[in-house]
A = this chain, B = another copy of it.
Amino acid sequence: MRLANLPTPSLVLDRQRLDGNLRRMQARADALGVRLRPHLKTAKSADAAARAADLGARGITVSTLKEARYFLESGVTDILYGVGIVPARLDAAAALRADGANLAIVTDNLDVARAIAAHDGEFSVLVEIDTGARRAGIAPDDPVLVDIARAVQAAPRAQLAGVMTHAGHAAGPDGVRAIAAAERDGVVAAAGALRDAGFGCPMVSVGSTPTAMAVDHLAGVTEMRPGVYMFGDLDQQAIGSCGRDDIALSVLAAVIGHNRAAGTLLIDAGGLALSKDRSATEFRPEVGYGEVCDAETLEPLVGIYVADCHQEHGIVPVPDPRVYGRLPIGAKVRVLPNHACMTAAAWDSYAVVEGEAVVGRWPRVNGW
């Protein structure tokens, strides 16, 4: 099968670019002296996880317990469930451990810690620290940190594994270095507070692709959990975490209309195929919902972006009417995604390519 024979729209994953991204982040983790525990919320693929492990990654991070079950069934046992646990999910988490997963769960809440302690399952617990993202987590110096640790350690079958944070607010290229330092310093300070109070803290976990690429050192940290680095996207390019030629994910689409009166062309990748995420436009307003590229070479068709999306129509302003001749009805293009995690989520599987050869079909685990 060739790229040209795929139906449109199709989600395409470039295996060589993926491999380059996996190797680069592994080298980064090795140089920083930390374990790489990739977040599989982006790829949601056992094949991608296996390739990362082949290249040195140890364990994974997931965003749902459905992912945890899927990856456990694929043979991955060391799993960090990165979203704050709630009591209603403790039975499912305990079942994963009973079935062989070395599952770590996360909380930032004393009531939840007490519920963990009161449950009869075995649990390994990380306390979530807010190092600036203001999403989840407690401040590194919040005294409840020690209260949570005490509640967990008092339970006969739960153990305190350490602390984790996610600096998901990583901003434009100028701000990332400072955010990365704050992410590290905050979680290391929290680990110190736990140790000062007499607790062990074997895991000190940070994680985001921008901070992983920007941080100057990770002294005191034991692991990193980046995710979107596997694929890259226009948002990561805008932040400076990857180059344009590192972006491994794209959507193959066909030109389905010429609206010369409006100065646009239409492609059959719209809001469902690309997602409505516009993260990258914070830094590069012109990229809209994705950059339109040559289908074979992935070279940009200069100045051509998906400016608007309807459900199954992508609307592409045409800067020069000669584009209509170059891209007649039926012509194929590939669209580099604004935010790979969201674009991939609409798809059940990847068409894996090497150049123009389709070399595999990798399934994804979606939903909840």
Contact = CB atoms under 8 A, between A and B. Distances in A.
A135 B266 contact: yes
Given A41-B311, A312-B83, A329-B87, A272 B342 contact: yes
One complex includes copies of this chain to the number of: 2
Given A87-B329, A272-B342, 18 more contacts: A8-B88, A9-B368, A10-B368, A63-B312, A83-B312, A83-B313, A84-B256, A88-B254, A109-B258, A111-B329, A135-B310, A135-B313, A135-B315, A138-B261, A275-B275, A276-B276, A276-B277, A348-B367
5 contacts: A63-B312, A86-B255, A86-B256, A135-B315, A346-B346
A129 to B, nearest CB: 12
Q: Is chain A's binding surface mostly helix, strand, loop or mixed?
A: loop
A41 B273 CA distance: 14
A341 B270 CA distance: 12
A118 to B, nearest CB: 14
A140 B243 CA distance: 46
Chain A: number of interface residues, binned into ranges: 35 or more
Contact of A134 (B254, B261, B268, B329): B261
Given A41-B312, A134-B259, A368-B273, A86 B330 contact: yes
A300 interface: no
A130 interface: yes
Contacts of A310: 135, 168
Contacts of A329: 86-87, 109, 111-112
Interface in A238-267: 254-259, 261-262, 264, 266
Among A7, A108, A311, max chain B CB count under 10 A is at: A311
Nearest to A134: B262
Nearest to A341: B311
A366 B259 CA distance: 28
A150 interface: no
Interface string A136-161: 11110000000000000000000000
A328 B9 CA distance: 43
Contacts of A259: 130, 134-137
Contacts of A135: 259, 262, 266, 310, 313, 315
B367 A346 contact: yes
A271 interface: yes
Contacts of A311: 41, 63, 341-342
A345 interface: yes
A130 B264 CA distance: 13
